[in-house]
Amino acid sequence: MEPLRKQINNIDEQLLNLLQQRFDLTKSIAEIKKNDKSIVLYDPDREKEIINNLKSKKIIEDIIIEKVWHEILYLSKNIQKDIINNKITI
């Protein structure tokens, strides 16, 4: 069992690093949105596109993708909102 737990720990670390990369990009996008008021913070069509694209890959169950990415997208929106409202800086 220990080798499997080590593998899970390694994957968790990779996921953490990938999430950090994604949130860094989110912050960069927020700076663009902050300077261009014509770009909306929330684009439901873009969120649907992201989730549908991932679901189309048929790698894991749709419900898992929906739950995980809804949370990631929720956090991304909050990060962007805080940057746009000058609550945090990058």
The parent domain of residue 7 ranges over 2-84
- With respect to residue 90, please indicate whether it lies within any of the assigned structural domains: no
pTM above 0.85, yes or no: yes
From CA 54, how far away is CA 66, in angstroms rounded? 9
**Could you report the per-residue pLDDT of 35-84, keeping only the tens digit for each?**
998 999 999 999 999 999 999 999 999 999 999 999 999 999 999 999 99
The CA-atom distances, in angstroms, between 4 and each of 1, 9, 59, 75 are 5, 9, 20, 30
**pLDDT at position 89 over 80:** no
- With respect to residue 89, please indicate whether it lies within any of the assigned structural domains: no
The CA-atom distances, in angstroms, between 86 and each of 20, 49, 89 are 20, 28, 7
- With respect to residue 37, please indicate whether it lies within any of the assigned structural domains: yes
CATH of the domain at 14: 1.20.59.10
- With respect to residue 18, please indicate whether it lies within any of the assigned structural domains: yes
Domain total in the chain: 1
**Could you report the per-residue pLDDT of 16-30, keeping only the tens digit for each?**
999 999 999 999 999
- With respect to residue 41, please indicate whether it lies within any of the assigned structural domains: yes
